[in-house]
Structure 1
Amino acid sequence: MMLLIADGLDEGSSIDILIKRNGATYKITSFVNKIEDDKLFINPISSKKGLFQFRFTDVVDLIYRHGAQTWRWNNVKALIYKDKEGSIFHTFTPTQRAVLTNRRNTYRLTVSIRTKITYQYKADLEADIEDDDDQLDNADPAIRDAVNKANGVETDRKTSGVIFGGAPVKEETEEKKVPEYTTFAFINDLSEGGASLSADVELGMGDVIGLKLDYKNSEVTAKGTIVRIIEENTKRGKFQYGLRYYEKSKNYVQFLFDEQRKYINDMKK
């Protein structure tokens, strides 16, 4: 059964890769090189420090957008692949069907909530994952070779090529934290896929904002990247930000429905 199916998904399509590692989530945008046998190929992800290594402990999701529709494949298998010609790719293989959402059918709730938000700069996130990935490169050569040998699965030379896994996380490695800052903001509206909010702090495209709201006896959380910025200079804030979620708590949708009911009840009064 083919799992890598979505309208318009083909060579050259833009794809978002979400990598959850050590409590942080990183987003990398790339382009599809080719699709073969339910496997998506992209040109290798690299940085100043070399080829990016996926780890077995990483949780990797793919997000593809086409028009008003969004496909999300959760927990895909990510590998480094070398073909017979020596070309290297990163490959992603789905383990389940994609979750499809349609933004045209997404309800957007107008609210006015002043709350504390967290934010992280895109540059800090990118620098952190590069430093984290460099741990294996700086290891003792004997250890590095042993890890690569243990993780690599070499296929028959007569077939398609060689597949290599990523480096496992060392248990004794101290977890590093990406700098996270807080400020107050006004949430203007909420939807299942994102939010609009106003704040005085100046942020950039691709920076990350986190929301945390009280809900019943617990809290609802969401985190997303900034995809729209408007300078507004109002009492609510100097800037208005459009947020696209890549992470939200399981109770977020129920929270949205409950807030919608409150809004409708207030209209009837």
Structure 2
Amino acid sequence: MIDCRYIDSHVNLHAPQFDEDRAEVIERARAAGVDLMINICDRLSNFDAVYAIAEANDDIWATVGTHPHEAKENPDLTVEDLLTLAQKPKVVGIGECGLDFHYDYSPRDIQAKVFRVHAMAARESGLPLVVHTREADDWMGQVLEEEMAKGAFKLLLHCYTSGPELARKCAAMGAYFSVSGIATFKAAQDVRDVIKDMPGDRIIIETDCPYLAPMPMRGRRCEPAFVPHVYDKLGEIRGWTADEVRGRTHEALFELFDRIQP
């Protein structure tokens, strides 16, 4: 296992919000003790930009996938499309993919179709599936159960804010969960309640920057340098010391993203 002070398992450093100072944001993260970051692909048309950041930085890795908002961009996405890009050496996960019925930026049937293609790619590649789910608990549970029945794959519910029933169902499938700055929000007690019951050996930590800046940074553009605040909040929620938070979440991350090597 790589020795890290902090890890941000879900960053969007290719986002336009960082176009003016991307290098400085990365340096601020390092100065804050963030020793490893995973840059998450939100659509295949952005993959080259996502991967270029990982390729240029020893401490940054990447995924390949299409966010449910963008599913309409690739309605005929194939497993081969994903597997071809997943062969690149710094790709460590499939996604971000999933279902988002809050905004419905892509038709629900297209979201589900594209999501299933990602699940197949995760199964075939052995890479973890990075899942976004919002206001789609019933569909999500059904799709994941059906896909798992065809053959197991590694699963991460990123930035989990859905209900306790879906969390229990996914935990029974062996899912991992990532905790974001939402856990620090005053109005997010329901999220904290779910975090209390997550499997203690399958929790990792993220910022989802440039979104969801944790308290006391809320309202600002989020950066990976803010991730220590999420570590602190997870420790408070679970009753873990700082060393326990680091030990447990880092071990979980390297078990999940096992392609990451020093």
Q: Same fold (TM over 0.5)?
A: no
Which structure features the higher share of helix residues? 2
Q: TM-score, normalised by structure 2?
A: 0.24
Q: Which has the higher contact order (CA 8 A, sep 6+)?
A: 2
Q: Which has the greater radius of gyration?
A: 1
Q: TM-score, normalised by structure 1?
A: 0.23
